[in-house]
Structure 1
Amino acid sequence: MTSPVPPDNPQSPWPSAAEEAAQEPSAESPQMASASYRLAYADIDFLRRAELRPVRLQLELLKAELVQQEEHIDSTVVIFGSTRIPEPEAARARLRAAEDAAAAAPDDRELARRAAVARRIHDKAKYYDEARRLAAMITQVSQRNGHRDYVVVTGGGPGIMEAANRGAQDVEGKSLGLSIVLPHEEHPNRYVTPELSFQFHYFAVRKMHFVLRARALVVFPGGYGTLDELFETLTLIQTGKVHPVPVLLFGREYWQRIIDFDALVEEGTIDPPHRELFQFVETAEAAWAAIHGFWANKNSAKSVD
């Protein structure tokens, strides 16, 4: 016999879904043992059907939304960047190993290429520390308003995302991680606040949650995923689908090498004002000053002091 399940809402006269599922009797006949007899919301195989994709999309949207409401999170600062940029000590160790391997086989072009890449990653490892410092600074502000505003959110993975979640933890604050199911994806980094660690199947829903509460987007050097999030946000701002927020690109040298924004203006594919939808920064202090200044100038109702 199953144990009684307490009602979700003691004030309601109706039994909850959990109560009814717990009271479902054991299969006593072929009819009751049939999959068609299961309660729809308790039937995992049914919920996974292709025709139920719209329902699963809604569930993914609602789950993270309701949890954030319950945690009283009103606004966030989104921090993106490469999963491949480790903390400086690890980057130094990888560089030494790559250069030693290349030196031992001077005619091996692939080892030479790997050493060159390791050098570039090593040079960008400073951004791990900047992301960590920035997240700590933002989280200290967030702590003063009870973690309602300016809560750091990342994709929950390694690299720059780990650094940002780690910075929040450094000051004993909360931060979110929005992970995505991928074939070779790492587990959520250990610095994400457990009750704010979410997992998504659908990229579209995950990206919506990044933008829903965002008061700023901070973008460190990264690859396809980082570029996707950057251009998604710029497009939403450009088309007026979201209100403008600061979009900060860490590392002018990197971004100007990777993307020729000026060429887009020269080619007429974007207007000159669209080039001003973002700005370059190099330090955590400059990034926070830009975020603070933007909202101070907007006379935001949310205090950032």
Structure 2
Amino acid sequence: MKPTDVPTSNFPTAWEEYCTLQPHPEYDQPGSAYQLAFSDDSFLLRQDMRPVRMQLELMKPELIQNEQGVKSTIVIFGSARILSAEAARSLVEAAEASGDEAALRAARGRQAMSRYYEQARRFAQIATAACAERGRPVVIATGGGPGIMEAGNRGAYEVGGKSVGLNIVLPHEQCPNPYITPELCFRFHYFALRKMHFLMRSVALVCFPGGFGTLDELFETLTLIQTGKSRRRPILLFGREFWTRVLNVDALLETGMISPGDEQLFHYVETAEEAWALLEAQPELAAPATP
């Protein structure tokens, strides 16, 4: 027998065995314990099985990203509520037509914030194209939803790159945006596992304006780096005016709540080009040295 003829496994896979199962009329009934454990939804969803479900949420994205060749990511955080320029313009036009002054003020506010969508989209285009040109297997990763997340996936898609979407199940269903690479579109139940996957492959984090969810992701990253639980990597905050209003670093320093130097864990940026200029020299992103 040739080496290539040697079977790869002496046992059938779980999938092969599952596909060949024959029904048993006496025991394939509701309430029966006869069903295979790994195919028994009611068993896997028991409260006692939470540790197993958490392990599955750790392992599924890990294995699939390995199979898809995703080694490093640039993570983009930001609000799901920020609209694209075209969507914001339509909102303003509708408010103008309605004559509702309150609606018009709100629409114009959202239009002003839409510049962040366009900067996120532009940044993802620049980073994806540059990494591809340099032969660096770095892909954009987002939370997979609308707003800034959509902008990041969209920018990568528009220049022919892959991108990751780490969606989360919410009471008001979050739908994945249409620009995520289908093989890299995941859905999580546990926020903790989702945030872990944001950081596991990241070589940089780019944070746009957002609410509680964005702040949660940003502060967890800063805490892990500050405490030495995670290696240091660039963290860029888009929009100094927004972030200095939301995050009073001076007050934290003055009261001793953070140490001198902690304010250097992140940098403010205003444009996609400025952001990429700060990142492109990072070892994981820099052009390979000429032999």
TM-score (norm 1): 0.87
2:91 aligned with 1:94, yes or no?
yes
> Within 1, Cα distance between the matches of 2:145 and 2:178?
9
- The one of 132, 143, 147 aligned to 1:155: 143
SS where residue 37 of structure 1 aligns?
A: coil
CA contact (8 A) 1:251 1:282 kept: yes
Q: Report the Cα distance in structure 2 between the residues aligned to 1:48 and 1:212, rounded to whole angstroms.
A: 26
Question: What is the 5 A alignment of 1:123-134?
Answer: 123-134=112-123
The answer as to whether partners of 1:249 and 1:280 remain within 8 angstroms in 2 is yes
Counterpart of 2:280 in 1: which secondary structure? helix
Deviates more, 1:172-181 or 1:253-262: 253-262
Residue aligning to 1:83:
80
CA distance in 2, matches of 1:99, 1:226: 31
Q: Specify the alignment match of 1:262 in structure 2.
A: 250
Match of 2:220 in 1: 232
Deviation string 1:176-226 (CA, Å, 9 cap, x unpaired) is 000000121331000001111000011010000000011011001111111
Aligned length in residues: 281
Partners of 2:134 and 2:286 within 8 A in 1 = no
2:168–2:174 contact (8 Å) kept in structure 1: no
Q: Give the whole-Å Cα distance in 1 for the aligned partners of 2:272 and 2:7.
A: 48
Q: 2:136 touches 2:285 (CA, 8 Å); kept in 1? A: no
* Percentage of pairs with the same residue: 53
Partner residue in 2 for 1:304: 286
The letter of the residue matching 1:84 is R
Q: Is the 8 A contact 2:167 2:174 kept in 1?
A: no
The letter of the residue matching 1:290 is L
Tell me which moved more, 17-26 or 150-159. Answer: 17-26
Structure 2 unmatched ranges of 5 or more: 1-5
For structure 1, which runs of at least 5 residues remain unmatched after alignment? 1-8, 105-110
Report the Cα distance in structure 1 between the residues aligned to 2:109 and 2:184, rounded to whole angstroms: 33
1:166 partner letter: R
Calculate the TM-score normalised by the size of structure 2: 0.91
User: Is 1:119 aligned with 2:108?
Assistant: yes
Q: Could you tell me how far 1:146 is from its partner in structure 2?
A: 5.8
2:203 is paired with a residue of what secondary structure?
A: strand
1:279 counterpart = 2:267 = yes
Match of 2:131 in 1: 142
Residue 3 of structure 2: aligned partner: none
> Equivalent of 2:55, from 53, 58, 65?
58
Aligned to 2:19: 22
